[in-house]
Amino acid sequence: MRYPPEPRRTASARTDGKRFGWRLIRISYFAMKIWGAILLTLAVAVIGSSYYARSQGTESVFVRVITLLRRSVDQRIALITAPPDEAGLIEQRFATLTFVSGRVEIQRSTDLAWKAGQDGTRLASGDRVRTFASARAEVGFDDGNVLRIKPDSLIVIGDLTENVRTKVRTSSVRLLVSNIEADIKKAVVRGSQFRLEMPTATAEIDKARMSVEIRPDKQSQVSVFSGQVDLDTGSQRVQVTDRKTVTISALKQITSPENLLPAPRLSAPRPLETFPSATGGAALSCTWDPVPGARAYRLEIAADRFFDKPIVSRDDLRTTTFATPSLGPGVYHVRLAALDAQGRMGDFAEPVPVRVVVDREPPFIEIQKFVVLQTGRGREILVNGRTEPGATVSVGGRAVAVDETGYFSAVLKGLGAAPAEMEILSRDRAGNLKSLLQKVSS
């Protein structure tokens, strides 16, 4: 072990009055070794973290710390230097975490710690949202725009502002490794803008339903189901319109657009349809219009509108009808998409909400008039009364028209030798039956 040469110090630098000795040097050298080891570990941690973060397509914690510090300084400088009236023109807006399933975490722009995200959590500019495996989240913006975040994603809320004078709103979201769906609606004020910032491109959206997948290799897949998206990589600008998908490489090359299939139109069930059931469950009969070029269809039915835990999930449907297994009482949401020859899924049709209700009560029958007439043409029966609206009625096996209020009236003619009693049968929509025997006497 080599010792460093004795330092040159003046007497005044020595305040303790002790004589300089080798022992002191040995201790300080030991401390230096400790510090060296710490610094070395730190350096390894920084480099390792950076490599790991790069492989995951995210930012390392050290870059994040530096970004935070820089942002803080920038904000202070901006506050000091901005002209007072210009600074007052911009109003900050907010977004809200409208749905959370699984492990979803939020990191505030002013905080290093990640905290569990909850429904209703407000998000501001600079906040980050990350979803872990099997987790999902939905971010709702104050102008009705929606961002659905799929598992293993990380997004950063960017600009969320409104110009107080022009009312123009600017929103942006930075996507790191992410898989998202966006529903961007036409803004109220012309000039308002929604921007998605990807690692290799930005997407300017006026109005669109789209999905973006950013893979760890920084390749991005942008699919536009409806509307229009302007992609800009810095070297290339491409407009992607209805039902087109493109891939942006890590080298910022945009492939030529490929077609996506349109959303199929569900003809049954109808939106907000009610299925009464006497048995406690009902099978939904789903039918839809065929989509040219579709190899198969994907049908999902879930009790929640986010389709977080679908009860029915089939992507192998080759025909345009499907009968579900019996579904218990409750509200369900049905949605459908077409799959092309490459297995690429088109847009989901607007989810259709329906409900199954239990009805074990037989319908009532109230006979107001039951008259048997003997005419020249034989016996005739005049009958009228009321039953449950929506029920069907038959008198002596003959169907009788029932109006929407449940009132029915009929004259049954051509009755031969009428039996002593005639059955009046009412069947409600759930299939419950009510029978009434009416004496036939002229």
Partner 1 sequence: MIARLLLVALAALTASLGSCRREASVAPVEKLELAGNAAYDAGEFEQAESAYRKALEVGAQRPRLQNNLGNALARQGRSGAAQAAYRAAIALDPEYLFAMNNLVLALYHGGERDSARQFLAKAQMNWPRVSFFYSTDGYLRYLEGDRPAALAAFQEAIRINPDSPAALNNIGALLLENSVADTDPLPYLMRAIQKSPENVLLRDTLGWYYFKKGMFAEATIEIGKAFLYDPKNLEVRVHFATVLEWIGKEREALEQWTKVLEQADDERVKRLAHEHYWDLKGRGVTASAN
Which residues are at the interface with partner 1 (CB under 8 A)? 142-145, 167, 185-190, 271-272, 274, 276, 305, 330-331, 333, 351-353, 355, 357-361, 363-364, 388-391, 404-406, 428, 430
Residue 154 to residues 45, 148, 176, 433, Cα–Cα distance (Å):
22, 12, 6, 57
| Long-range interactions of 46-51: CB distance < 8 A, separation 24+ | none
Query: Quick check: 96 and 129 in contact, CB under 8 A?
Result: no
Residue 261 to residues 95, 210, 336, 352, Cα–Cα distance (Å):
31, 13, 12, 19
Query: Quick check: 346 and 265 in contact, CB under 8 A?
Result: no
Give 281 or 390: the residue with its C-beta nearer to partner 1.
390
Give 302 or 410: the residue with its C-beta nearer to partner 1.
302
Give 127 or 359: the residue with its C-beta nearer to partner 1.
359
Residue 342's DSSP bridge partners are: none
Query: Quick check: 386 and 380 in contact, CB under 8 A?
Result: no
Minimum distance of partner 1 from residue 144's CB (angstroms)? 4
Minimum distance of partner 1 from residue 196's CB (angstroms)? 18
Nearest to 113 by CA among 182, 61, 169, 60: 61
Give 135 or 391: the residue with its C-beta nearer to partner 1.
391
Give 57 or 353: the residue with its C-beta nearer to partner 1.
353
Give 293 or 390: the residue with its C-beta nearer to partner 1.
390
Rounded Cα gap, residues 366 and 363, in angstroms: 10
Minimum distance of partner 1 from residue 133's CB (angstroms)? 26
Q: Encoding tokens for residue 282?
A: 């009902």
One-letter amino acid for residue 16 of the chain: D
Minimum distance of partner 1 from residue 390's CB (angstroms)? 7
Rounded Cα gap, residues 388 and 364, in angstroms: 6
Minimum distance of partner 1 from residue 188's CB (angstroms)? 5
Minimum distance of partner 1 from residue 426's CB (angstroms)? 10
Give 64 or 93: the residue with its C-beta nearer to partner 1.
93
Minimum distance of partner 1 from residue 368's CB (angstroms)? 17
Minimum distance of partner 1 from residue 117's CB (angstroms)? 18
Q: How far apart are the first and last CA of the chain?
A: 129
Give 62 or 364: the residue with its C-beta nearer to partner 1.
364
Residue with tokens 């929509």: 429
DSSP notation for 175-216: ESS-EEEEEEPPPSSTT-EEEEE-SS-EEEEEEEEEEEEE-T
